[in-house]
Amino acid sequence: MTIEDVFAAAGPLAAAFPGYCARPQQLAMAQAVDKTIRERGRLIAEAGTGTGKTFAYLVPALLSGGKVILSTGTKTLQDQLYARDLPMVRELLGVPVTIALLKGRANYVCHYHLERTRHEGRFLRREDIADLQKVERYAKLTQSGDKAGCAGVAEDAPIWAHVTSTRDNCLGTDCPNHKECFVLKARKEAQEADVVVVNHHLFFADVWLRDEGAGELLPACNAIIFDEAHQLPEVASLFFGETVTSGQLIELARDARAEALVVAKDYVRLPQAAEALETAVRDLRLAFRPEPARLPQHELAGRFPDYEVKLAAVLEKLAALEGELAAQAERDEALQKCHERALALRELVQRWQGGDDETAVHWIDLTAHAFLLHATPLNIAELFRKQLGIGQRAWVFVSATLAVNGQFTHFQHELGLWDAETATWDSPFDYKQQAVLYVPRDMPEANAPGFTAKVVERAWPLLQLTQGHAFLLFTSLRAMREAHELVLQQLKDARLDWPVLLQGQGSRTELLDRFRRSPNAVLIASQTFWEGIDVKGEQLSLVVIDKLPFSPPDDPVLSARIGQMQKQGRNAFVDYQLPHAAITLKQGAGRLIRDETDTGILMIADTRLVDKPYGKLLWKSLPPMFRSRELDTVKRFFEVKRGRPQDHPASQSET
């Protein structure tokens, strides 16, 4: 069976899906992916919403006859590919292809840590005890051990941190439960399968960097396909760099103390050293201001007088714990593992303490109760390119948002893909008939006081028009929270009892489920909901974006990269900041129209989109919607579209 046969009007897809319509874009993309796999080439492909890109790469992948790794941006898409899309395509094609799903080890129940947690009995909350009992029952019945299959226990429940392993605390071949390990079982299945579904984080940590022993997958594969490839530069930066977290240090202290109480009860200095490290780590966090922040290391000493003393104390206590663990390591494999972790963490903290160099920026990420010490490479292109040259295999990079005004230069430069083939296929949706882009007049500047209040004020008539059914997306958590309060007040004044959902008041999955089920729902969110969300139909009729999503210039990594580009004589705004904002804006705008029958309004409240010279590049990168700055025209467009789809308020855009 050929690619053309599969996507033909009388092919297997048409037979399986009533109302199937052959899309030239989908066939062309499938042919390009097929050619890349056969020739072991490199392809960067942008496929607009509605192209059917998933089937366009799955069909040639399954027909190729080789081993293929599919890497996605999210576990949600990973599960969808494995449980729904891959089995469906396999059945339609009638090919004997074996498939496997591989996740990071934190997604699998660990028999050893489950048993230890049950014996320790440290839980005080009734919910944690109930969750532990559910996990115990699940572990006896499940074949996969994947926590996603454990009914009744939320994916973010605290119990999972106690009953799963990490790279740091896994005992490996020394584990008494080694033979029944769910992680090893999943890896064995992945090594034997024809198609393996992973996610980007696992690909870099497990397959590429071989940190967790699954490096056998990459050499054996013939093709690697990245969906949601726009996320790769950020993920690659994370894994080509180094990170130490307060959580890792505290977890080491707690594991050392717990093991000492079991196998070294007579050695009191070990739990004392562990407790001292935990105290020092907490003291270091308290040395900084309480609110979350991202700060370069070179600024810390001047802004926080106690910082250097507190960091030195952490290193001192970490070295002391390392010494005590070394003295007792021969007693037990778990203590030996803790000693190795202490040694590795001390080396990482010392390297971070050394400060920036020409290749990496050192910075700290402060959350409400924790800190993360990062050393992030300034340029990952050469690092990525070196890996591309290992072995002969196809590399395919796919996303709905990779190009900026039709050009892939930004993405190619970030990953060193200068010699890759590029192709773009526009969405088959009729955006001019389905959606209107509205940029209100008379908005204050984006950084002016009262801007968020004005956004909500301008959005309110649209919320009334669409009767809720809206996403309000903000570029900062502070603006998101302010808008939440303002919307609640507007609804109260209007005596409307609409459900208002706020990012953080539940997991992303929970909030989306509630949004889909709730008439008149309004979801107010920040970056978490700008991508990977699919709500079709009238349930989502309005998307509001407050500002153009430029990264804050004081972000430590961005600031360092800008400095490096300026030294090279490049224009950082044109070459980096503007393309990055364009891709992010496309992601947010892409939430609105998800089907041929969808209609809706996209409001972008930032007038720089039309007032600044660079604004044209940004809106030209968006889908070609009907455009207006007049509220009455926008209302008329929406009312006509929802009433008589054949009519149109105007034939040309107004901006």
Amino acid at 338: C
| C-alpha neighbours within 13 Å on the C-beta side of residue 139 | 24
Nearest to 280 by CA among 321, 255, 311, 325: 311
Cα–Cα distance, 575 to 412 (Å, whole number): 12
Q: What is the mean pLDDT of residues 121-143?
A: 87
- 222 and 298 inside one domain: no
Q: What is the mean pLDDT of residues 407-426?
A: 94
> Could you tell me if 401 and 563 are in contact, meaning their C-beta atoms sit under 8 angstroms apart?
no
- In this prediction, residue 210 has a pLDDT band, given cuts at 50, 70 and 90, of low
In a domain, 367, yes or no: yes
In a domain, 126, yes or no: no
- 265 and 212 inside one domain: no
Higher model confidence: residue 627 or residue 118? 627
Token pair for residue 621?
């990168």
Q: What is the mean pLDDT of residues 548-562?
A: 90
> Could you tell me if 443 and 607 are in contact, meaning their C-beta atoms sit under 8 angstroms apart?
yes
Residue 377: its H or E element = strand 371-377
- 454 and 314 inside one domain: no
Please give the order of strands across the beta sheet that includes 600-604. 500-502, 522-525, 470-473, 542-545, 600-604, 435-438, 626-628
- In this prediction, residue 217 has a pLDDT band, given cuts at 50, 70 and 90, of low
Q: What is the pLDDT of residues 451-491, one digit of tens each?
A: 999 999 999 999 999 999 999 999 999 999 999 999 999 99
Q: What is the pLDDT of residues 486-511, one digit of tens each?
A: 999 999 999 999 999 999 888 788 89
Cα–Cα distance, 555 to 208 (Å, whole number): 28
- 493 and 385 inside one domain: no
- 455 and 550 inside one domain: yes
Contacts of residue 108, defined as CB under 8 A and 6 or more positions apart, other chains included, come to 144, 145, 146, 147, 164, 165, 182, 183, 186
In a domain, 153, yes or no: no
The last residue of one of the domains, among 354, 377, 400, is 377
Cα–Cα distance, 26 to 447 (Å, whole number): 42
- In this prediction, residue 645 has a pLDDT band, given cuts at 50, 70 and 90, of very low
In a domain, 654, yes or no: no
Q: What pLDDT does 216 receive?
A: 61
> Could you tell me if 541 and 489 are in contact, meaning their C-beta atoms sit under 8 angstroms apart?
no
Which range scores top for mean pLDDT: 78-82, 122-126, 340-344?
Answer: 340-344
Task: Quickly list DSSP for 583-613.
Answer: HHHHHHHTTS--STT--EEEEE--THHHHST
Q: What pLDDT does 292 receive?
A: 83
pLDDT at 208 over 80: no
List the CATH number of the domain containing 330.
1.20.1440
Token pair for residue 476?
């900062």
Task: Sort strands 500-502 and 522-525 into parallel, antiparallel or unpaired.
Answer: parallel
- In this prediction, residue 644 has a pLDDT band, given cuts at 50, 70 and 90, of very low
In a domain, 13, yes or no: yes
Cα–Cα distance, 569 to 572 (Å, whole number): 9
Nearest to 439 by CA among 595, 155, 274, 633: 633
Cα–Cα distance, 361 to 296 (Å, whole number): 8
Q: What is the pLDDT of residues 235-286, one digit of tens each?
A: 999 888 999 999 999 999 998 998 888 888 888 899 999 999 999 999 999 9
Please state which of the ranges 31-40, 120-129, 183-192, 330-339 shows the lowest mean pLDDT: 120-129
- 361 and 383 inside one domain: no
- In this prediction, residue 642 has a pLDDT band, given cuts at 50, 70 and 90, of confident
Query: Sign of torsion, CA 558 559 561 562?
Result: positive
Residue 480: its H or E element = helix 477-493
- 452 and 569 inside one domain: yes
The last residue of one of the domains, among 348, 377, 406, is 377
Instruction: Please provide the distance, in angstroms rounded to a whole number, between the alpha carbons at the two ends of the chain.
Output: 48
Average pLDDT, the chain: 90
**For residue 311, what are the domain limits?**
240-377
- In this prediction, residue 218 has a pLDDT band, given cuts at 50, 70 and 90, of low
Nearest to 58 by CA among 47, 70, 45: 70
pLDDT at 651 over 70: no
Higher model confidence: residue 510 or residue 314? 314
pLDDT at 397 over 90: yes
Task: Quickly list DSSP for 481-510.
Answer: HHHHHHHHHHHHHTT----EEETBSB-HHH
What's the number of domains the chain is made of?
A: 3
> Could you tell me if 308 and 383 are in contact, meaning their C-beta atoms sit under 8 angstroms apart?
no
pLDDT at 76 over 90: no
Task: State percent of the chain over pLDDT 90.
Answer: 68
pLDDT at 404 over 50: yes
Q: What is the mean pLDDT of residues 585-593?
A: 92
Higher model confidence: residue 166 or residue 644? 166
In a domain, 318, yes or no: yes
- 453 and 597 inside one domain: yes
Per residue in 384-396, is it b (16+ CB within 10 Å) or e — as a string?
beebbeeeebbbb
Residues recorded for the chain: 655
Q: What are phi and psi of 184, to 5 degrees?
A: -65, -35
Q: What is the pLDDT of residues 341-381, one digit of tens each?
A: 999 999 999 999 999 888 899 999 999 889 999 999 998 99
Contacts of residue 611, defined as CB under 8 A and 6 or more positions apart, other chains included, come to none
Cα–Cα distance, 165 to 454 (Å, whole number): 48
- 13 and 41 inside one domain: yes
Amino acid at 519: P
Q: What pLDDT does 219 receive?
A: 63
List the CATH number of the domain containing 95.
3.40.50.300
- In this prediction, residue 138 has a pLDDT band, given cuts at 50, 70 and 90, of very high
- 329 and 234 inside one domain: no
Q: What is the pLDDT of residues 8-65, one digit of tens each?
A: 988 898 888 887 888 899 999 999 999 999 999 999 999 999 899 999 999 999 999 9
Nearest to 251 by CA among 106, 141, 394, 126: 106
Task: Sort strands 542-545 and 600-604 into parallel, antiparallel or unpaired.
Answer: parallel
In a domain, 202, yes or no: yes
- 578 and 447 inside one domain: yes
Cα–Cα distance, 563 to 566 (Å, whole number): 5
Q: What secondary structure letter does DSSP report for 550? A: P
Contacts of residue 449, defined as CB under 8 A and 6 or more positions apart, other chains included, come to none
pLDDT at 528 over 90: no
**In sequence order, what are the beta bridge partners of 423?**
45
CB atoms within 10 A of CB 351: 15
Q: What pLDDT does 647 receive?
A: 43
> Could you tell me if 74 and 228 are in contact, meaning their C-beta atoms sit under 8 angstroms apart?
yes
Q: What pLDDT does 654 receive?
A: 44
- The full 3-state SS of 384-397, as one line of letters, equals HHHHHCCCCCEEEE
In a domain, 26, yes or no: yes
- 304 and 258 inside one domain: yes
Displacement of CA 171 from its chain's centroid (Å): 29
Q: What is the mean pLDDT of residues 138-157?
A: 89
pLDDT at 427 over 50: yes
Residue the block writes with tokens 């005890």? 129
Q: What is the pLDDT of residues 160-181, one digit of tens each?
A: 988 999 887 888 888 899 999 9
Q: What pLDDT does 79 receive?
A: 86
Task: Quickly list DSSP for 148-211.
Answer: GG-TTS-TT-TTHHHHB--TTT--GGG-TTGGG-HHHHHHHHHHH-SEEEEEHHHIIIIIIS-T
Token pair for residue 322?
């390392």
Q: What pLDDT does 506 receive?
A: 81
> Could you tell me if 270 and 264 are in contact, meaning their C-beta atoms sit under 8 angstroms apart?
yes
Query: Sign of torsion, CA 571 572 576 579?
Result: negative
